[in-house]
Chains A and B, each alone.
Chain A
């Protein structure tokens, strides 16, 4: 599934989610609703992509567009997916030109506002002919599902924090334990999945990635699993205090003023406070990670308090992987850097910003080209690294996703790539490749 296709599906689901919320609030014909209908109409055009009929299938916790799984959107629109499953939706078939009334009915149905099905015949729900078992043979992997559970947990925690000023820690702990189960058994795949990014929900995805990467480092160091769960909970929640920072500042595209910085800097203390208020087993350690995750190795950083000790090892671990994932993500004020540049920044700051031992352990775990790295090959093809290489200089295990002719391949091709054939690293947005979406392909391949 190409990045473009993911975008089409995401646009449709995003529009549908917006409208289904809208219809609960406003009556049909209200300007706000009308506007949402229009936006959804535009998104539907993109979703249809000129085809005479497209079916969206909801099956086994994943979305399929015309029977091909759409992994990223399945993750990003997980709550919508669950709502649809609850409403008994299995397929949505769109037959253009789509009528606005049908869009409205669809949204009202999904939102649980009404049981009326779309009546104009341009949108058909659970059409018997299209519900057949011949879906893409690789449904969303367990790993992705557990990733989604953590994502849900942090979403709920954040919204609970906004609404009530506190949240339940227990659900987060459960979700993290689930994620650990699958990360430990498929560390390479987990690293691949950790390259998944979201522009709209940067903080949430970032938090789950930081959790996966922290666990992977812990595993490489050889730490007992039980010990890592509280560290993972801390990793997931480290930035939860950002809900207290005005989004306008978080999304500001330039360098921040001293004033704006002051507001950003409250997030560790707000996070720690929220976690302590939530209580529950492990809350102390998680709160400590949140509180310390911007306290530098050399005693600088924020918040400034008279510390009697260096930040705890969990906090230092989260600092390293937090930085790595942040640098390799596109954020409001900076485009993404490639993995090797991120590793270099970590090396530069080892000993001042970060614990040098942990930086080296992290690099050792990631390698020069960690899973998910997108490589330009000397013949012009583009390949994605799919597993870790233990030995420096050893050939890479990759799948080719774009051929030498520049065309995206229908079926990614697994190959072994000697290091000297790598020309440079590419970035997902620049080449239209989403490494994380390869997860199911890789796992499917591994099973054969």
Chain B
């Protein structure tokens, strides 16, 4: 109990503030507009004046506490204020500065609400969130009570609060983020009777570590308890705590280490050691007791086998502290040896090798392909594999835009011809290629100067390119662009003409005609089979195109088809067949034509055209045939006469 006469300055200030707050609290309750009242404004002034220079004020049922001492209120209003705070589970009150009258009024308003209403809404701390600044900060007690719904028994989960009992003030401050040296100072300043400092140090380490683990497991609860762990580095506090070890006096370091080593399997102890550098431990080793030395060296062997290497590998394989000293000395010796050898020029040759390797011509494209292949190979995650595929196609198109076809070619072919990924990944890669393949990209490839490389690329884009080009062909209105599309399509299907077969049944005759034209342009004899599928297409324009395609793809195989087309119901087809036959020089064409005439089933105009054609061809067989036709004395009907006329004309022109 404090007596007014014995009060020191800070206690007087505290009383003054509490009295002021009590008066303002009463004012708030009595006046409809308290903000204009002198006591209220006075309280705001007091809060501003004492900002930051008063310790947290504990709340009891009708009293206040500071540093374990009870501050007995001198006025009734103060007592009521304390009681009301207590009702709302306020544990401490802190004057933090920046008060506003509105803020204080809002604070009082919340405090004046019924306690169960506030509790139901998430507690006093939650109710104050978002309010204007009152200059006061509260800490809420036993937050779990609200969740658990039982009385006052449940434990507070604030690790800082719990550590309060075990650590002196500076250590507590340190846990709020102070420097390691301050933590160490707090430990060293432990007074007699506060316990063995090394025990306090180790216990506090465990306390802290466990609380951080708790907080990570349940961040919401920890937030309610006032613990803010930086999400990106929740262990920062623990690290600075361990760092404080290095600010302890040597004897205390040794004692702490003895404790840690005595229970090396206890959770956290290895983590504690892992924070040290090899140097740290090797320096402390000689001062440890023999059993502790043994345990440390044992742990060193175990830890050094860790895949990441370990600081303790300095100690691994050694059996005593004496050897450690020698090992440390040999470190410097070995480095010096290297330097001596260097100064004698021993490594000049090695350096020369390195230099020429570094200055060797670099082929960026090779690296690009190797890295992409490596990424495809090692990426096990589905979504990231997709990303690899996208970056790959992205780089491919970037090369195209820069007219770097050889690089683009290497990147694409280098992956597709020897895939670094399993079969199951192929659909993902296909999809990426499909997404990349636009007419623009295809034109860029097709128009490149390096036609051979371009064709190789187009062939590998295969079905993706086919779909794009066919779709485009179906809608392109500009004749020149359409022609371009057909040409590119022809190159795309060069390797796999059957890719187009699926589209040959399309209902649009003009599309089918273009596809046939593309097949013709592909130049690969295998395409004939695909062309043949539409040889009897209902539209004569398609049938005409089929003839052209035949001639382009396989001249010999085309002849019978051309001859057959002479009997086509459509005149244009027949005319085209004649035209195409004219260009065919094979001997047997004459025989086929002669036979056809002999069978006498061609329409008259076509038969006449064939006679004229035979005349122009002028071979031995043709001539015989013409003479036979021309020499007929009696012919009946206009058709026969027309043929004889044509044959005679042809023979005349010939001679």
Contacts and interface: CB of A to CB of B under 8 A. Distances in A.
B is a partner of A: yes
B353 interface: yes
A230 B362 CA distance: 10
B311 to A, nearest CB: 5
Given A276-B395, A306-B377, A255 B270 contact: yes
A338 interface: yes
Interface in A378-417: 390-393
A256 interface: yes
B398 A255 contact: no
Interface in A22-71: 28-31, 34, 37-38, 41
Interface string B121-137: 00000000111110000
Given A255-B271, A361-B354, A277 B375 contact: no
Interface in B362-402: 362, 364-365, 367-368, 370-375, 377-379, 384, 387-388, 391, 394-395, 398
Contacts of A276: 368, 371-372, 391, 395
Interface range on chain B: under 10, 10 to 19, 20 to 34, or 35 or more? 35 or more
Contacts of B334: 344, 347
Nearest to B306: A255
Given A254-B271, A261-B307, A357-B350, A285 B367 contact: yes
A367 interface: yes
B368 A284 contact: yes
B351 interface: yes
B323 to A, nearest CB: 15
Contacts of B354: 221, 313, 357-358, 361
B358 A218 contact: yes
Contacts of B350: 357, 360-361
Contacts of A345: 309, 313
Interface in A340-370: 340-341, 343-345, 347-348, 357-358, 360-361, 363-364, 367-368
A447 to B, nearest CB: 30
A279 B270 contact: no
A76 B78 CA distance: 49
Contacts of B8: none
Interface stretch (B27-35, B231-239, B564-572, B620-628): B231-239
B370 A363 contact: no
B278 interface: yes
A248 B395 contact: no
Interface stretch (A170-178, A181-189, A328-336): A328-336
Contact of B277 (A30, A104, A335): A335
Interface stretch (B16-24, B82-90, B145-153, B338-346): B338-346
Nearest to B377: A305
A314 to B, nearest CB: 7
A360 B357 contact: no
A256 B375 CA distance: 24
A336 B387 CA distance: 37
B326 to A, nearest CB: 13
A308 B384 CA distance: 24
Contacts of B377: 305-306
B556 interface: no
A54 to B, nearest CB: 18
A291 interface: yes
Interface in A117-176: none
B207 to A, nearest CB: 16
Nearest to A31: B129
A420 to B, nearest CB: 13
A363 B98 CA distance: 57
A131 B367 CA distance: 54
A228 B355 CA distance: 11
A89 interface: no
A368 B274 contact: no
A177 to B, nearest CB: 17
A303 interface: yes
Contacts of B371: 272, 276, 284, 287-288, 291
Contacts of A31: 129-130
Interface in B254-285: 270-271, 274-280
Given A306-B377, A313-B357, A37 B98 contact: yes
Contacts of B597: none
Nearest to A419: B336
A251 B98 contact: no
Nearest to A104: B98
Contacts of B374: 269, 272, 291, 303, 305, 307
A85 interface: no
A427 to B, nearest CB: 8
A363 to B, nearest CB: 5
A363 B340 CA distance: 11
B331 A344 contact: yes
Interface string A296-326: 0000000111111000111000000000000
Contact of A338 (B279, B358, B394): B279
Contacts of A357: 347, 350-351, 353-354
Contacts of A423: none
Given A255-B308, A291-B375, A223 B332 contact: no
Contacts of B232: 247-248, 251
Contacts of A29: 100, 103, 131-133
Contacts of B509: none
A360 B332 contact: no
B420 to A, nearest CB: 8
B248 to A, nearest CB: 12
A429 B181 CA distance: 11
A283 to B, nearest CB: 8
B475 interface: no
Contact of A288 (B278, B310, B367): B367
B395 A221 contact: no
A252 B350 CA distance: 40
B225 to A, nearest CB: 15
A347 B375 contact: no
B233 A247 contact: yes
B311 A337 contact: yes
A224 interface: yes
Contacts of B332: 340, 368
Interface in A251-297: 251-256, 261, 269-270, 272-273, 276-277, 279, 282, 284-285, 287-288, 291
Given A276-B372, A288-B367, A368-B339, A251 B311 contact: no
B367 A253 contact: no
Contacts of A312: 367
Interface in B176-221: 179
A101 interface: yes
B391 A364 contact: no
Contacts of A261: 307-308
Nearest to A220: B351
B359 interface: yes
A282 B373 CA distance: 18
A99 B270 CA distance: 46
Interface string A219-248: 001111001101100000000000000011
A373 to B, nearest CB: 12
Contacts of B368: 276, 284, 287
Contact of B338 (A104, A256, A287, A347): A347
Interface of B: 51-52, 96-98, 100, 103, 129-133, 179, 231-236, 238-239, 242-243, 246, 270-271, 274-280, 303, 306-311, 313-314, 331-332, 334-336, 338-340, 342-343, 347, 350-351, 353-355, 357-359, 362, 364-365, 367-368, 370-375, 377-379, 384, 387-388, 391, 394-395, 398, 420
Given A284-B365, A284-B368, 10 more contacts: A31-B129, A227-B359, A254-B275, A276-B372, A306-B420, A340-B335, A341-B277, A361-B350, A392-B336, A392-B342
7 tightest A-B CB contacts, nearest first: A247-B232, A254-B271, A100-B98, A392-B339, A284-B364, A303-B378, A284-B367
15 contacts: A30-B130, A97-B52, A247-B232, A247-B233, A251-B236, A252-B235, A254-B271, A291-B371, A333-B274, A334-B276, A344-B334, A347-B335, A357-B350, A361-B347, A364-B347
